[in-house]
Amino acid sequence: MLPEVSFIFGGISTESDSSISSLEHIISSYLTIPDAERPFSVKHLYHLSQEDCLVRTIQVHSALTSSDMRAYISDTGARRGRTLICALDEIQSRKEYVVNLLHGQFGEDGGVQTLAALLGLRGTFGDPYVASLTMNKYAMSSFVSSLLPNEVVKVPRTRLIKSQNMIDEMQIAKSLQGPIVVKPNSLGSSLFTDLFQDTALSEPDIVALLHAILEYDSSALLQEFIPGSEYSCGCMIDSLGVTVLPVIKIETERRFFGRNEKCSGDLVRLKIVDCGDTISNRIKSIVSRIATSIDLYNIARFDFRVDDSAGIWFLECNYIPGLGRGNIFPTMLESHGMTVIDLISFLLSKSSQFKRKDHRIRY
């Protein structure tokens, strides 16, 4: 009998659209495979609605199209939803294997991972503490800079801004030489991320942006801008270790992978830079070192800048990389000879399950 897999997607964060794109890409690829050749069967699609925070189940059948899926997702009034806790409880009672496609807040930051760990769910949730670490750019950068020496990978000088320290930190920020990037500490998709050439001249705009960020995130970052090129490198993790995928160079006209670039495919070119390229070999070795030093399960993707002196700078680790058509991770997979369907098969058959340790020490 084929292994069965369910997916949970959508979610309450601003990144729910990316989550829907990831699901659509996987399901539409799955439905193009003839029945007899499908490597797994899809049991349920669980949509967590951004509108009412309820979960509704979509049944998968061979005639299901992307527009049917879109209609199910948007028409929340037509079907009764249940709370996430009820849905997870049902999933647990059926011992379903669930691929977690909830991107962003709650889905990727340790929120749903904690519920999954407490309920003992099977699937790709992983370790809640590792999810929170990776989602916290400041903490993750501190981890990377203590793990690896500066000559191997650098971390941009950064100031952590909270509502309480905004005024003091703005004074210090003015002493950061050169352009700075302002971004949220734990939102993704380049939301509220901007580049300022002159900190002193742009102070009112920076303060306004910081206020906007702090409405949604508990902290914001003021970070030294690293001129140069943008690279990303993904990996897959199973019980035998880490498989590092081909490195991608992300080319954009303004050499900044901001919100506009992420929302419009036309402004971005993804280029595989793998074979024998020194930068890509160094990036792969960094990814391998980081990924083997934290308890990652399943997959992850790491973003870097590379300056004109070939210095490599760590930006962030994406705990649940986007899997939408044309996204960075599927492009890396393709270059590795895999589709998103092969990835799901890999997760089902090879990746390990996170098991919460016993909390009670029996002396």
Ligand X SMILES: Nc1ncnc2c1ncn2[C@@H]1O[C@H](COP(=O)(O)OP(=O)(O)O)[C@@H](O)[C@H]1O
Distances (CA, A) of 100 to 74, 235, 250, 258: 20, 17, 26, 26
**Residue of minimal Cβ distance to Mg ion:** 303
DSSP 260-309: HHHH-GGGEEEEE--TT-HHHHHHHHHHHHHHHHTT--EEEEEEEEE-TT
Min dist CB 315 to Mg ion, Å, is 6
Q: How far is the CB of 120 from ligand X (least distance, A)?
A: 30
Residue 226 CB, nearest approach to ligand X (Å): 4
Task: Choose the contact partner of 230 out of ligand X, Mg ion, none; CB within 5 to 8 A by kind.
Answer: ligand X
CA 74 → CA 10, 52, 53, 117, 273, distances in Å?
11, 11, 13, 30, 39
CB closer to ligand X, 81 vs 184: 184
Q: Which residues of 310-333 are buried (b: 16+ CB within 10 A; e: fewer)?
A: eebbbbbbbbbbbbbbebbbbbbb
| DSSP symbol at 11 | -
Q: What does 223 interact with, of Mg ion, ligand X, none (CB < 5 to 8 A by kind)?
A: ligand X
Cβ pair 328, 248 in contact under 8 A:
yes
Of the two residues 17 and 303, which places its CB atom closer to Mg ion in the complex? 303
DSSP conformational letter for 234: E
Positive or negative: CA dihedral 12, 13, 15, 17: positive
Q: How many CB atoms lie within 10 A of CB 244?
A: 21
Residue number of the CB closest to ligand X reads: 257
Query: Residue 226 CB, nearest distance to Mg ion (Å)?
Result: 13
CB of 191 to ligand X, least distance (A): 6
* Closest CB to ligand X among residues 24, 109: 109
Structure tokens that stand for 278 in this block = 């020194």
Pairing of strands 298-306, 268-272: unpaired
Contact of residue 277 among Mg ion, ligand X, none (CB under 5-8 Å per partner type):
none
Q: Residue 119 or residue 270: which is nearer to ligand X going by CB?
A: 270
Q: How far is the CB of 187 from Mg ion (least distance, A)?
A: 11
Cβ closest to ligand X, residue 193 vs residue 219: 193
Under rule CB under 5 A, residue 127 binds Mg ion: no
The residues pairing with 271 across neighbouring beta strands, listed in sequence order, are 249
Report in angstroms how near the CB of residue 48 gets to Mg ion at its nearest: 23
Give the interface with ligand X as residue ranges (CB under 6 A).
137, 156, 181, 183, 188-190, 193, 223-226, 230, 256-258, 303, 305, 315-316
Q: Of 74-103, which residues contact Mg ion (CB under 5 A)?
A: none
Nearer of residues 40 and 256 to Mg ion, judged by Cβ: 256
The answer to whether 358 and 309 have CB atoms below 8 angstroms apart is: no
Provide the H-helix boundaries in 9-97: 16-31, 66-74, 84-93
Query: How is residue 267 written in tokens?
Result: 């402004």
Residues 298-317, interacting with Mg ion (CB under 5 A): 303
Taking the least distance from each CB to Mg ion, the nearer of 10 and 322 is 322
Given the complex with Mg ion, which of 108 and 303 has the nearer CB atom? Answer: 303
Q: Pull the structure tokens for residue 147.
A: 């793990």
Among residues 245, 253, 249, which one has the least CA distance to residue 271? 249
Q: How far is the CB of 297 from ligand X (least distance, A)?
A: 20
Could you list the residues that contact Mg ion (CB under 5 A)? Answer: 303
